[in-house]
Amino acid sequence: DTGVSQNPRHKITKRGQNVTFRCDPISEHNRLYWYRQTLGQGPEFLTYFQNEAQLEKSRLLSDRFSAERPKGSFSTLEIQRTEQGDSAMYLCASSMGRGGSPLHFGNGTRLTVT
Amino acid sequence: KQEVTQIPAALSVPEGENLVLNCSFTDSAIYNLQWFRQDPGKGLTSLLLIQSSQREQTSGRLNASLDKSSGRSTLYIAASQPGDSATYLCAVIREYGNKLVFGAGTILRVKS
């Protein structure tokens, strides 16, 4: 399968714990995006990378959130000191980065904070 | 700030019916518009992408139109099937922008 891959699919954690998610984009794609989606809503932009550079971060991305993309390949999203409000589906997408290129999404990581 | 609205929020139709999903956006200075399908608990599958210079795109039983000046797009599904049941999301990327802004989606149920 050459699509966008996200791991784990599901994560249940207790409030206050740290969690890390991984995204492997389509290999030739140089842009990588993170979105968050809560029930009944569309995805909300969190951040994106052009190769290894993080070029934009949403105000939704508090200082408890950090994303990296070392070497411009896979990316990780870490949430520190999780809160119940962090419970959501975290979606990763990648694209060629040229104007008008479609985004391709992974199946997401569903986070539940108890 | 770009806002995207989708109407209706939910739709239930009998199998075989043709249907239209609506999407509107507040800032007409977009680069392109993309329609996605999302099955429960899954990620998004891209259906159609319309560049701002285009009026419509077709793929099989799906046809998406774009009226950039009025800030509207429609997704037409012909001869609906139970397998079309899903949430349909539209999203726009603004000119010189780098990210998609999504609507909340339309939940479609096609009854057999």
* Nearest-CA distance B49 → chain A (Å): 7
A44 touching chain B per CB within 8 A: yes
Mean pLDDT of chain A: 93
B65-91 pLDDT, tens digit each? 999 999 999 999 999 999 999 999 999
A5-45 pLDDT, tens digit each? 999 999 999 999 999 999 999 998 999 999 999 999 999 99
Please give the pLDDT value at position B87.
98
Please give the pLDDT value at position B49.
93
Which three-class secondary structure state does DSSP give residue B82? helix
Q: Give the integer Cα–Cα distance in Å for B67 and B52.
A: 9
Chain B residues closer than 8 Å to A110 by CB = 41
A90-102 pLDDT, tens digit each? 999 999 876 668 8
Average pLDDT over residues B37-63: 94
Q: Give the integer Cα–Cα distance in Å for B101 and B49.
A: 14
A5 touching chain B per CB within 8 A: no
Nearest by CB to A33, from B41, B46, B99: name it. B99
Give the residue on B whose Cα is nearest the Cα of A92: B43
Please give the pLDDT value at position A71.
86
B104 touching chain A per CB within 8 A: yes
User: Read out DSSP for chain A?
Assistant: --S-EEE-SEEEE-TT--EEEEEE--TT--EEEEEEE-TTS--EEEEEEETTEEEEE-TTS-TTEEEE-GGGS-EEEEESS--GGG-EEEEEEEE--STTPPPEE---EEEEE-
Q: Which residue has the higher pLDDT, B63 or A56?
A: B63
Sorted by sequence, the CB contacts under 8 Å of residue A77 that are 6+ apart come out as A20, A21, A23, A34, A46, A65, A66, A67, A90, A92
Residue B102 has pLDDT above 90, yes or no: yes
Percent of chain A with pLDDT over 70: 96
